[in-house]
């Protein structure tokens, strides 16, 4: 499978998981989705990530984002590992983990980077819009756990910019000022954004977050 790029359709698959067989498209329905891979079960960083992800599920739910993890071990192993995660992270893993023993989904999503590790996945993230297009990809090495605050932050940006002609500046968080899309002339922007437009430079126009 070629590398998946932004705007590509997320390939559908049916796979076993910690909660039984899952079809990606059926699972996502009309929601957004986040698919994130873990190198292997019973590994320390992955254990902290999955516990953290479980504790963040309420925030993903608020944003209408269905969570789906993946590791290249089997479903029975996932279920045993989940008991450990729940214990040590004081949580309840409340989303499925794909069991990808044959690497079918990992290959489909190019999650195995042979020069990093020939058999285990890297830490890939795919954020999928309701129309099934890929809106964001991230790739972290096995040695670096992901920042789930950043994943929520980027979802806020993706959802905002899907519905408003704005972009979000560096380190932006929900509620902070946003950038007017470069394609919109300032006079038009002043009509469009009733909360006001500040022209810092002709190409850098700021407006309050339209959803805040
Ligand atoms: C971990 O999750 O801790 C891990 C997994 C594979 C390689 C290195 C670390």
CB 24, CB 68: distance < 8 Å:
yes
Atom of ligand 1 nearest to the CA of 48: 2
> What is the secondary structure of 90-139 as a DSSP string?
TS---S-EEE-TT-HHHHHTT---TTT-SSS--EEEEEE-TTSBEEEEEE
**Cα(175)–Cα(203) distance, integer angstroms:** 22
CATH no. of 8-146: 3.40.30.10
Residue with tokens 């806020």: 156
Read off the pTM: 0.96
136-176 per-position pLDDT tens digit: 999 999 999 999 999 999 999 999 999 999 999 999 999 99
pLDDT for the residue 3: 87
Query: 39: Cβ below 6 Å to ligand 1?
Result: yes
Which ligand 1 atom sits closest to the C-alpha of 46? 2
Q: Where are the domains of the chain?
A: 8-146, 164-208
Residue 81 has what pLDDT?
A: 98
pLDDT at 1 over 90: no
Tell me: the pLDDT tens digits for 66-116?
A: 999 999 999 999 999 999 999 999 999 999 999 999 999 999 999 999 999
Can you name the CATH fold of 164-208? Antioxidant, Horf6; Chain A, domain 2 (3.30.1020)
């Amino acid at each position: 499978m070629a590398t998946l790029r932004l705007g590509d359709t997320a390939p559908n698959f049916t796979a076993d998981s910690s909660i039984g067989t899952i079809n990606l498209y059926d699972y996502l329905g009309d929601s957004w989705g986040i698919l994130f891979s873990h190198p292997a079960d019973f590994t320390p960083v992955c254990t902290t990530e999955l516990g953290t992800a479980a504790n963040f599920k309420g925030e993903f739910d608020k944003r209408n984002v269905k969570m789906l993890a993946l590791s290249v071990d089997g479903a029975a192993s996932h279920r045993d590992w989940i008991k450990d995660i729940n214990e040590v992270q004081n949580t309840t893993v409340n989303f499925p983990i794909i069991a990808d023993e044959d690497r079918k989904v990992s290959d489909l999503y190019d999650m195995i980077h042979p020069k990093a590790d020939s058999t285990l996945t890297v830490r890939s993230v795919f954020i999928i819009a309701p129309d099934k297009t890929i809106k964001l990809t991230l790739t972290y090495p096995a040695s670096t756990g992901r920042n789930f605050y950043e994943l929520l932050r980027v979802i806020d940006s993706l959802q905002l910019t899907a519905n408003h002609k704005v972009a979000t500046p560096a380190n932006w968080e929900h509620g902070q000022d946003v950038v007017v899309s470069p394609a919109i002339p300032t006079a038009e922007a002043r009509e469009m954004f009733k909360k006001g437009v500040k022209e810092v430079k002709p190409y850098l126009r700021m407006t309050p977050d339209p959803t805040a």
